[in-house]
Amino acid sequence: MARQDLERLIGRAVLDPTFREKLFADPEKAIREAGFDLTAEEMAGLKKLDPQESRDAVESLAALDAQPWGG
Amino acid sequence: MTSEGSLHFTAYEADYQAVLSRAQGTVASLPPALRNLAEPFLVPWGAASFSRIVALLPFWVAELLDRALPRGADLRIPQPGDTETLALANLLGWWSYLVQDGLLDGDLDPGEFLPLPMALHASAVSLLAQLLPSDQAFWRTFERLSLVSSEASAREQRLRLEYLKKRKTLDPGLAEPDRLADRSALLQLAVTAQFALCGLDQECHLYAALCEMLRHYAVARQIADDRSDWVQDLQNGQLNHVSARIARRMLETGAMGSLAELDVERMMGYYLHDAELFASIQQQAMDACQRAAQAVAPYRSRTLDSLVSELAHELERNYQAALGSRRPLQAVFTLRSDGSAYDLSRP
């Protein structure tokens, strides 16, 4: 997978809650639907991830980035 | 930032409520078409921490002047209520800036809201004119700082994605912290007015120290703001300081060929990957806090010290929390923290 595609995949997982849910529920389908081109090895790596741990990490980061400072 | 319990706010809550009430009264007295535009914003504006800061700055400075300067024949004691009137002018000026910012960011419809900042600005200037009708030095500074602030707004237009994508290169200065210091113009103006009211010269060391503190405070605060909302700004088509730093870094490292490739998802992926950039942005904000604190340290102002110290703590807390979230995420995607590789295949 090209570097820019991986950046985009990670960025989308942080920024798009719908994609995030799909990614951790069914990585293969989410990747295919989004049009990312992962190698078999990369897909195997993605499937090894713990869905809950991954979701928690991404969501906590997404929440931090959305934290308002108070104007 | 929720800091209403801090020393610099709690001791002055009654003063803030008095100023806020007068500001709400000023809005209520605007012609109905303008009043109706402003009224839905009064509650969030009033609750925002920066509204408190601009309104309370004259009270904090008054306390400092009272304590730090020797009594002399040249020092005028402001009339009772002058500090509150100055605070009101600051608050209305800040709200005018907030509306302009909303217009620039595309959050507010220019067709509807364009007259509102002009009305709020006119109210603020009218109050200053009542306080300082013939102080030529103040009005010269007013003109200079107004131009600094206007120029900063004009430069923001050059951070619009549609502008940048046509040019394909990034003005290196756009990511420099000095540009953020221009945001302190309103705060510096408030201090200038207060010194003029007291008959104090702008050559006074305390004046320079306060302006220096406010410049660095504005830089630190703006970095904190931009770190929390760069994604939203970018989705609105606008780079801020943090996203300009990310874009510059991506161009420098070859991660992005030209600005035509700017993409918020890629920038987020890159930002998570580049630990050095993440740390450098934090360091820049903390350096600014330290310079702000150093500028006024000799005057031992409890309120100003508390203001800067709270921002530094908030920056550090948010940084540590973000670090804590980045680490498992980098592990999740097996990104290496030295930024040398992306690899999904390793467990």
Compute the half-sphere exposure of residue B312: CA atoms within 13 Å on the CB side of its CA: 17
Q: How far apart are CA B95 and CA B42, in angstroms?
A: 9
* Contact between residue B268 and residue A10 where contact means Cβ atoms under 8 Å apart: yes
Q: From B103, B321, B328, B309, select the one nearest B228 (Cα to Cα).
A: B321
Nearest CA to B87 among B9, B10, B193, B4? B193
Task: Give yes or no: residues B200 and B296 share one domain.
Answer: yes
Instruction: Assess if residue A15 is contained within a domain.
Output: yes
CB of B250 closer than 8 Å to CB of B269: no
Q: What is the count of structural domains for chain B?
A: 2
Cα dist from B190 to B35, B185, B328, whole Å: 25, 9, 45
Instruction: Report the pLDDT averaged over residues B250-264.
Output: 87
CA distances to B59, B79, B193 from B301, rounded to whole Å, are: 12, 23, 19
B260 pLDDT higher than 90: no
Which B-chain residues 248-267 have CB contacts (< 8 A) with chain A?
Answer: 255, 261, 263-267
Is the per-residue pLDDT at B45 higher than 90?
yes
Q: Is residue B2 part of a domain?
A: no
**Closest residue to B269, CB basis, from A7, A39, A69:** A7
> Using the beta-carbon criterion (under 8 Å), do B269 and A10 form an inter-chain contact?
yes
Q: List, for residues A49-70, the tens digit of each pLDDT value.
A: 777 877 777 777 666 554 433 3
**Angle in degrees, CA B45, B51, B54, rounded to 5:** 155
- Rounding to the nearest 10 degrees, give the CA dihedral for residues B174, B179, B180, B185: -150
Q: Is B317 exposed, middle or buried (0-12, 13-18, 19+ CB in 10 A)?
A: exposed
> Within an 8 Å CB–CB cutoff, is residue B42 touching chain A?
no
Range with lowest mean pLDDT among B33-37, B98-102, B181-185:
B181-185
Q: Which of B54, B268, B335 to mutate to test the interface with A (most CBs of A within 10 A)?
A: B268
CB contact under 8 A, A61 and B322: yes
Which residue in chain A is spatially nearest to B2 when comparing CA positions?
A70
Task: Report the residue of B325, B336, B340 to disrupt the A interface, i.e. the one with the largest count of A CBs within 10 Å.
Answer: B325
| Residue A71 forms part of a structural domain | no
B270 contacts in chain A (CB < 8 Å): 7, 11
Quick check: is A40 in a domain? yes
Q: DSSP for chain A, please give it.
A: --HHHHHHHHHHHHH-HHHHHHHHH-HHHHHHHHT----HHHHHHHHHS-HHHHHHHHHHHHHHHT-----
Selected residues 1-40 of chain B with any CB under 8 Å from a CB in chain A: 1-3
pLDDT digits (tens, 9 = 90+) for A6-58: 888 888 988 888 998 898 888 889 998 999 888 887 787 777 777 787 777 77
**Could you tell me if B155 and B58 are in contact, meaning their C-beta atoms sit under 8 angstroms apart?**
no
A34 touching B, CB under 8 A? Answer: no
| Confidence band of B343 (pLDDT split at 50, 70, 90) | low
CB contact under 8 A, A70 and B255: no
Average pLDDT, whole number, for chain B?
Answer: 86
For B83-97, how does the pLDDT look when each residue is reduced to its tens digit (9 = 90+)?
999 999 999 999 998
B167 and B309, same domain (yes or no): yes
Please check whether residue B5 lies inside any domain of the structure: no
Distance between CA atoms of residues B337 and B329, nearest Å? 11
Distance from CA of B257 to the nearest CA of A (A): 11
Rounded average pLDDT over B97-103: 87
A38 contacts in B (CB within 8 Å)?
A: 344
Q: Which domain holds residue A32?
A: 3-65
Report ipTM (2 d.p.): 0.84
pLDDT of residue B1: 47
Does B149 reside within a domain?
A: no
The beta-carbon neighbor of A65 closest among B49, B228, B342 is B228
* Closest CA–CA distance from residue A62 to any residue of chain B (Å): 9
B256 Cα to chain A: minimum distance (Å) = 8
Any domain includes B317: yes
Q: Choose, out of B265, B271, B273, B316, the residue to mutate when testing the contact with A (most A CBs < 10 Å).
A: B265
A70 domain-assigned? no
Residues 82-111 of B with CB under 8 A from A: 98
**Nearest-CB residue to A71 (from B50, B230, B331):** B50
Query: Residues B173, B86: one domain?
Result: no
B120 and B168 both lie in a single domain: no
Residue B4's pLDDT band, with cuts at 50, 70 and 90, is low
Q: What is the DSSP string of B252-265?
A: HHTSSSSGGG--HH
A35 at interface of B, judged by CB pairs closer than 8 A: no
Tally of domains within chain A: 1
Q: Is B141 inside any structural domain?
A: no
- In tens, the pLDDT along B157-171 reads 777 777 777 776 777
User: Does the beta carbon of B269 lie under 8 angstroms from any beta carbon of chain A?
Assistant: yes
Question: What pLDDT was estimated at residue A63?
Answer: 62
What are the C-alpha distances in Å from B337 to residues B181, B219, B275, B312? 32, 27, 6, 25
Restricting to B residues 270-299, those with a Cβ less than 8 Å away from any Cβ of A are 270, 272-273
Full residue range of the structural domain in which residue B95 is found: 12-131
Coil, helix or strand for B341? coil
Q: Could you tell me if residue B1 is inside a domain?
A: no
Region B299-328 average pLDDT: 89
pLDDT at B182 over 60: yes
Q: Based on the domain organization, do B176 and B323 belong to the same domain?
A: yes
